[in-house]
Each structure stands twice: as C-alpha cells, then as structure tokens.
Amino acid sequence: MTDEHIEVLGLGNSLVDLFAHIEEDFLVKESMQKGAMILIDEERAEQLYKRMGPATIVSGGSAANTIAGVRSLGVRSAYIGKVKDDELGRAFIHDIRASGVKFDVTPAANGPATGRCLSFITPDGERTMNTYLGASQFLSPSDLDENLVREARIVYLEGYMWDRQAAKETFQKAARLAHAAGARVALTLSDSFCVDRFRAEFLDLMRSGLVDTIFANTEEIRSLYQTADFKTGLEALRAEGVLGVVTRSEHGSIVVEGEATYEAPAFPIDRLIDTTGAGDLFAAGFLAGMARGADRVKSAKLGALAAAEVIQHLGARPQARLADLAAENGLAV
C-alpha cells in the first residue's frame, strides 16, 4: 500500500439535508408528529420543499458524514454512494469532493431524484425529519470500485443500506472483497428502528464473520438483543467476538473486545445546538484513530472530540478542521 492509498472507505445512502426553522403550527398544518423521522415519496418531498421557506442545504447521509469527518482528521478516505445527475446530486458531489474525500461513482441519468432529508426545527430546537431516499436506494454492485475496496484498511458500511436488495448485495460484495484483502469491515447499526427490521440479518453478519466491527448506541444494543438492560446487551455483543464500539451520549463510550473493556468520557462542549450527526462523527474519530494504529481509548477520545464539534452547530458535518482540534487536545493521528 502506498502513501496515496485510501485508508477508510465508506458505503451508504447519499442524501442532501435541508434545514428550515419553523413554528409549531407548521407541523400541525402538515400533519407531522413532532420529533419523528418518517420516509416519504418524491411527490411529498417536492411539496414540503416548496412549503418549507428559506432552507439551509448541506450534503449528508450517515456514512458520508462519517467519511467527511475521517478526512477532516487528516486520514485519506473515499466514499461510494448513489445520487442522480440533478441539482441536489451535483451539490452532494461537489461538497464531498470539496472536503477531500475521493468520490467517483457515476450519477444516475434517469430514475428517482437525489435523496434528501427535510428537517423542520421548532423554536425549542426539536427536529422533525421527512426523508426521501430516492436515488440512494439504487446503489448496485456495478457501482463498486473493487480496487478501491481492496486497498482500504477499513471498509465502513451503513445499516440503513439494508433496506434494498441491490444495496444489500453491494454491501456484502464489498465486505467479502475487504476481508479477502485483509481489511477490517465495520457496520453501524444506524438506528433502533433499523435494528428492529433487520435484527436477525445484522446478527448473522457478525456470526458469519462478514462484519468484525460494530458501531452502535445504547438503544440500538438493547434493540439488537431485545433487552431493557444495557449491561446484558453489552455482554451479548462481547460474546459475538467482534470489536464493539458503543456510544452513551453524555456518558461517553464503551468498547468491548474479547475480555477487554475500554471506556472514554464525552468531550466537554459550550452549547448543544443539534445532536444529529453525533454518532456519525464519533465513528469518524474512532475509525481515523484505528486506521492510524491508535489504541482503543485514544480512538474513542477522537470520536468524542469529533462528536462534540458537530453537536455545537447545525448540520451533520464538521465545520472546524478536526485534525487541528485533535492536535490542540493531544490527540493528533
């Protein structure tokens, strides 16, 4: 592997985030449940976009956010995801390439529009999300750059991708290629609702050896093992024989690997603005540390630092250069 080779490669749903500040009565008028996230079709997405008023547009998607964070920490990264050749698709491509991430997937000429998440933020800071997956669902094995997968040290996969068969096949092919090349394969469980839908399959990914690293939060671990007791779920994850990385919000994170357990505190913040993206950026810090051979505690501290940066502003990608923040806090990679 040369110095120019990719260290962390992510695969995921490519979405553009649109944020708008609205009053409570807008939610009532549009029949939205405050604080919920629902999937919508393209027609509804277009309607809401027209009605939401002035909006901030930021490229997003869980794994894409993570990979942008990895690059912000100075670690070479690449991303594979699907957009359409439309206005939002071109914005997504521009943003991810501008962040320094390698992205070479050809946008779709036809079919569904680029996926988007329309977020409505009420005066109390609560976010209500309407997500149209669009073109992101149609990532297929033919979009996979096999050489790129083989050269990566870590391949990071987004649980949300499991919703569609073609994306699932892409996910499985990438994991097999990565393991054959001696790389790690990490999976983020994405959210507890995703776990509820695909529990048996996610467990099989670990037990079959296709995935060796799991990122999750406490709710996802409880859902995965159908237990109200977090410690019971954590010990069940340990028994899978994977590297388990679990975030616990303000309580920091805990990592289990074989008989070993590592813990790291949350990073202090001045003001909480928006928690969206906290898990994505925690994964970015941990992956960056792991790619550069950092120990588990340092990797978790890097995750905490990256998460702390992103929750202090709107949007799920870092605004400060994370490599500089890491260096200032004795965590340079």
Q: How far apart are CA 170 and CA 146, in angstroms?
A: 11
Determine the average pLDDT of the residues in 199-215.
97
Which strands, in side-by-side order, build the sheet including 15-21? Answer: 37-39, 127-132, 115-121, 15-21, 56-60
Position 2 pLDDT exceeds 50 = no
Position 172 pLDDT exceeds 60 = yes
Could you tell me the end-to-end alpha-carbon distance of the chain, in angstroms, rounded to an integer?
18
- Model confidence at 206, pLDDT cuts 50, 70, 90, reads very high
Report pLDDT digits (tens) over 127-167.
Answer: 788 999 999 989 999 999 999 999 999 999 999 888 888 88
Q: What is the mean pLDDT of the chain?
A: 93
Report pLDDT digits (tens) over 208-231.
Answer: 999 999 999 999 999 999 999 999
- Residue type at 252 in one-letter notation: G
- Model confidence at 310, pLDDT cuts 50, 70, 90, reads very high
Q: Would you give the distance in Å from CA 112 to the centre of its chain?
A: 22
pTM (predicted TM-score): 0.92
Instruction: Give the pLDDT of residue 1.
Output: 36
Domains of the chain: 8-12+61-112+134-328 (3.40.1190.20)
